[in-house]
Amino acid sequence: MSSVEQTYRGRRTLSHLDWLESESIHILREVAGQCANPALLFSGGKDSICLLRLAEKAFRPGKFPFPLLHIDTGHNYREVTDFRDFRAAELGERLIVRNVEDSMAKGTVVLKTAGESRNKYQSITLLEAIEEFGFDCCVGGARRDEEKARAKERIFSFRDDFGQWNPKNQRPEVWDIYNARVHKGENIRAFPISNWTELDVWQYIQREQLALPSIYFAHARPVIRKGSLLQPVTELTPAQSGDLVEEMMVRYRTVGDITCTAPVESNATSLAMIIEETATATVTERGATRLDDQTSEASMEQRKKEGYF
Amino acid sequence: MSALEHIPEIDNGLLRFITCGSVDDGKSTLIGRLLWDTRTILADTLHAIEKTSLKRGNVEVDLSLITDGLQAEREQGITIDVAYRYFSTGRRKYIIGDSPGHEQYTRNMVTAASTANLAVILIDARKGMLTQTRRHSFLTKLLGVPNIVVAVNKMDLVDYDQAIFDQIRADYQNFAMQIGLGKVHFIPMSALTGEMLVDRGDKLDWYAGPTLLDLLEATPSAHSERDERFRFPVQYVCRPLRADRPELHDYRGFMGRIESGSISIGDEVMVLPSERRSRVRDIQLGEISMASAGAEQSVTLLLDDEIDISRGDMIVKPHQLVLVTRRVEAMLCWFSETSLEPRRKYVLRHTTREARAMIEAIEYRVDVNSLEHHPATGLAMNDIAKISLRLAQPICADSYSSNRATGNFILVDETTNNTVAAGMIL
């Protein structure tokens, strides 16, 4: 096929990471250009860590045109929330934290059982924060390769005044002209790394030498095998009688609510080793790590309709 | 192409492509096969597909189920929307725009094709060219997708007969000439068995050309084909005014993405629509300077002179002028369920600029099946028409055929804020 291959040799082509980076910067600047009062959701996780680097490239030497916002379930690892605070301070940007526990105290979040995963209740606290600050756009680190409901979501995704996503009534998104116009009370969720895969994220973290919370790297942790998943043994998720607790070398592929995020067995102590594992992984990121998505094939779609990110 | 065992050193960028066809043509199977043969499908996804295959009474795993969509779609048995899928060969990353075959077809295909650099048009070898083949090809041409591959699929069902392939190729070439399509590649294949997608197989020895993946790997990415005129729509103006950084007091950074062409420090530039001139003092990304930058790079430009520039302005080179105009002739694709009302005002969004727009005339509507022109007084969802627009403020426009990025626009309905149409400037 040499005749075909020659048609691109010798021509300038952006590497795939450069192309993705440039697209994401373009999206962030459109948010800044079109929205009056946006916020960037920063959890301390790897995807939003990439978002912060992209925001630096998009807006430095200026300040970010948005504050950072975290909806804390109260069930996050200390390593991650400490990192969140450290990184915001290092950047000199404003960090707003709103707690699901405050919504529980107010009575807007009512748990069915005390130890229940608070993941889905983040939506309520997020909507309360949007109302409190009057945000017209929230920038998030969701990716289309994560899940099939996400695969069909726009980069600028419209939410009505209940925060709901309607998959049947999305705004057409052509070329890279984005439409962030909303009426008061309505909201845009913008996803600058929509087109990135898990592997792209890790490669970007390596290229940009981004710091991460330590639990992304292999460490010894007591876990219980639950089917194909590993459940960490923590104060929130203690072993039950009959559970076999094993001390294993694990790392997190994604960090979220402790009660519903599973680590994976791994000896990867460096980014290069993580990338090697990601490239040869045999299970998807959500499949390997989400204790809550297994329940129903369409649970992400359902949560998004209710205002979830 | 085998499993991605190591991250290779080669990085041939990223290619976006679409697949055009209905489920009956094997479109979902083709996508499933590409993902499967490049080892993109992981065990848990496969497990879910296996379960569904069994539930539906299939013994073999049905790869087309990989593209199975939302619960809302399954309930209604239709595909609602464009889905984006990703795979990598290690040399190149791919984004597939997968648009549904039936309902709202034109609108979805226009959406998917708008960002594509290559289109795979599927033809069922048993059926040959159909009305929908003409429609897909017309839309591909309308949206300016630069590379076209006609995949003559289901060759396994016609005994891999070369004569059938040759006939379809001749028919299509004839049609391609009529609508003015440039070079088209033809590949005989079977998405079901995998011949000529990633692996050559052993049933199509009479075909000596590239496999589909060979072609995807070799297709030039956007903007690498020719020298283009420099276009830099300003997205955002950076004026740090930070008390902690007095050296930045006079900093004015013009932020945007180079849509085409290239720029170097020292180049003379002109700002439109004001026509003020200056020179490039620095090109930055983050706070790092670079000597030059090219198409598709997001950068910050600093100029020698203090000129008033804001979002919506366009920076060009003085000898590569763009048309500053308040009148636009365009091909328009109507998206909205609410029909176009010629007396209503819409907001036109072009690059980073907005302007109120009025429809002056609908010259004709195109029947996407027969390609005939008809007179029209209004437009309904999925209609395509040639129109003329009058704008309250000027835009800096190129023709879509000369520059996809500065030749496109959308129309927004001001009362609903919905995107109601996509336009290509003539």
- CATH at residue A114: 3.40.50.620
Please check whether residue A1 lies inside any domain of the structure: no
Confidence band of A292 (pLDDT split at 50, 70, 90): low
Does A43 share its domain with A154? yes
Q: Does domain B231-316 have CATH number 2.40.30.10?
A: yes
- Residue A63 inside a domain? The answer is yes
Q: What is the pLDDT of residues B342-368, one digit of tens each?
A: 888 899 999 999 999 999 999 999 998
Lowest mean pLDDT: which of A155-164, B112-121, B263-272?
A155-164
CB contact under 8 A, B70 and A301: yes
**Shortest Cα–Cα distance, A144 to chain B (Å):** 7
Distance from the A22 Cα atom to the nearest Cα atom in chain B, whole angstroms: 5
Q: What is the Cα–Cα distance from A182 to B415, expressed in whole angstroms? A: 10
B81 vs A152, A228, A302: nearest CB: A152
Look at B81 and B29; give whichever has higher pLDDT: B29
Under the banding of pLDDT at 50, 70 and 90, the label for residue A288 is low
Kindly determine whether residue A12 and residue B242, on different chains, have CB atoms separated by under 8 Å: no
**Residue B221 near chain A (CB below 8 Å):** yes
Say which residue, B171 or A14, is predicted with more confidence. B171
- Percent helix, percent strand, percent coil in chain B, to nearest 5: 20, 35, 45
- State the helix-helix crossing angle for B131-142 and B162-179, rounded to 10 degrees: 50
Per-residue pLDDT tens over the stretch B101-111: 664 578 889 99
CATH architecture of the region B14-218: 3-Layer(aba) Sandwich (3.40)
Confidence of residue A7 (pLDDT cuts 50, 70, 90): very low
Q: What is the pLDDT of residue A304?
A: 64
Number of domains forming the structure of chain A: 2
Can you state the angle between helices A46-59 and A198-207, rounded to 10 degrees? 60
pLDDT confidence of residue A2? 34
Q: What proportion of chain B, given as a percentage, has pLDDT over 70?
A: 85
Phi/psi of residue B35, nearest 5 degrees: -65, -40
- Partners of A25 on chain B (C-beta within 8 Å) are 257, 298
**pLDDT surpasses 70 at A149:** yes
Nearest residue on chain A to B76, judged by CA atoms? A168
B367-405 residue pLDDT tens: 988 889 999 999 999 899 999 999 999 999 999 999 999
Count interface pairs A-B at CB distance under 8 A: 209
Which pLDDT score, from 0 to 100, does residue A10 have? 42
Residue in A13, A33, A174 nearest the CB of B114: A174
Least confident of B6-20, B227-241, B323-337: B6-20
What pLDDT, on the 0 to 100 scale, is given for residue A6? 33
How far apart CA B58 and CA B51 sit, in angstroms, is 10
Which residues of B are less than 8 Å from A18 in CB distance? 297
The yes-or-no verdict on residue B61 having pLDDT over 70 is no
pLDDT band at B12 (very low <50, low <70, confident <90, very high): confident
The A residues from 111 to 170 touching B (CB cutoff 8 Å) are: 144-145, 148-149, 151-152, 167-168, 170
Does residue B238 contact residue A61 with C-beta atoms inside 8 Å? yes
> What pLDDT, on a 0 to 100 scale, did the predictor assign at position B35?
84
B219–chain A Cβ distance below 8 A for any pair:
yes
Statement to judge: residues A46 and A195 lie in one domain: yes
Q: Which residue in the set B80, B405, B419 is minimally distant from A172, CB to CB?
A: B419
pTM score: 0.91
- For residue B400, give how far its alpha carbon lies from the nearest alpha carbon of chain A (Å): 12
Q: Between chains, do B92 and A16 touch, taking CB under 8 Å as contact?
A: yes
Q: What's chain A's average pLDDT?
A: 87
Q: Which of B12, B83, B248 sits opposite A61 (nearest CB)?
A: B248
A36 touches chain B (CB under 8 A): no
- Assess if residue A6 is contained within a domain: no
Band the pLDDT of A278: cuts 50, 70, 90. confident
Contact at CB, A19 and B13, closer than 8 angstroms: yes
**A245 touches A124 (CB < 8 A):** no
Mean pLDDT of A267-291: 78
Is the pLDDT at B227 greater than 80, yes or no? no
Residue A257: pLDDT band with limits 50, 70, 90: confident
A59 touches chain B (CB under 8 A): yes
Q: Where are the domains of chain B?
A: 14-218, 231-316, 323-425
The top-scoring range by mean pLDDT among A45-54, B72-81, B131-140 is A45-54
pLDDT at A8 over 60: no
In a domain, A37, yes or no: yes
User: Is residue A231 a contact partner of residue A288, using CB atoms and an 8 Å limit?
Assistant: no
- A252-261, A288-297, B13-22, range with the lowest pLDDT: A288-297
pLDDT tens for B268-320 read 999 999 999 999 999 999 889 999 999 999 999 999 999 999 999 999 999 99
Q: Does A172 score more than 50 pLDDT?
A: yes
- Does residue B290 belong to the interface with chain A, where contact is any CB pair within 8 Å? no
A168 interaction partners in chain B (CB closer than 8 Å): 72, 80
A230 shares a domain with A154: no
Please report the pLDDT score of residue B99 as a whole number. Answer: 80
Pairing between strand B345-350 and B408-412?
A: antiparallel
pLDDT top residue among A55 and B369: A55
Please give the average per-residue pLDDT across B231-238, as a whole number. 97
A260 and A162 co-located in one domain: no
In this prediction, residue B100 carries a pLDDT of 72
The shortest C-alpha distance from B187 to chain A (Å) reads 13
Q: Is B224 in Cβ contact with A8 (below 8 Å)? A: yes
- More confident call, A113 vs B340: B340
CB contact under 8 A, A8 and B410: no
Whether residue A219 sits in one domain with residue A192: no
Q: How far is CA B274 from CA B312, B395, B410, B414, in A?
A: 12, 12, 24, 27
Q: How confident is the model at residue B329 (pLDDT cuts 50, 70, 90)?
A: very high
Average pLDDT for residues A46-54, to the nearest whole number? 97
* Cα–Cα distance, B162 to B155 (Å, whole number): 9
Indicate the range of A124-133, B26-35, B212-221, B299-308 predicted with least confidence: B26-35
What's the average model confidence in pLDDT over B13-38? 84
DSSP assignments along B404-424, one per residue: TTTSEEEEE-TTT--EEEEEE
ipTM, interface predicted TM-score of the complex: 0.92
DSSP state of A57: H
Are A252 and A126 found together in one domain? no
Burial (0-12, 13-18, 19+ Cβ within 10 Å), B324:
middle
Classified by CATH at the fold level, domain B323-425 comes out as: Elongation Factor Tu (Ef-tu); domain 3 (2.40.30)
pLDDT, tens digit (0-9, with 9 covering 90-100), for B141-173: 999 999 999 999 999 999 999 999 999 999 999
The phi-psi region of residue B77 (left if phi > 0; otherwise alpha if psi is between -120 and 50; otherwise beta) is left
Model pLDDT, residue B411:
97
Do A71 and A169 have their domain in common?
yes
Rg of chain A, C-alpha, whole Å: 20
Gap between the Cα atoms of B25 and B131, Å rounded: 13
Query: How high is the pLDDT of residue A161?
Result: 82
Mean pLDDT score of chain B: 87
The residues in A 89-118 lying below 8 A from B, measured between CB atoms, are: none
Same domain, A89 and A181: yes
My answer on whether A65 and A167 are in the same domain is yes
A97-110 mean pLDDT: 90
Supply A144's token pair.
Answer: 């289309």
Q: Give mean pLDDT, residues B100-121.
A: 84
Chain A residues 187-216 with a CB less than 8 Å from chain B: 194-195, 197, 199-200, 203
Nearest residue in chain A measured CA to CA from B245: A61
Q: Which of B48, B107, B235 sits opposite A29 (nearest CB)?
A: B235
| Per-residue model confidence (pLDDT) at position B374 | 96
Q: What is d(CA A256, CA A293) in angstroms, rounded to the nearest whole number?
A: 13
- pLDDT at residue number A223: 92
Is B231-316 the same fold as B14-218?
Answer: no
Q: Look at B256 and A8 and tell me if their CB atoms are within 8 Å.
A: no
Per-residue pLDDT at B2: 35
- What is the span of the domain harbouring residue A222? 210-289
Does residue B229 or residue A168 have the better pLDDT? B229
pLDDT of residue A216: 94
Is A244 found in the same domain as A153?
Answer: no
Measure Cα distances from A238 to A232, A235, A258 in Å. Answer: 8, 6, 11
Torsion region of B113: left, alpha or beta (phi above 0 gives left; psi -120 to 50 gives alpha): alpha
pLDDT tier for residue A148 given thresholds of 50, 70 and 90: confident
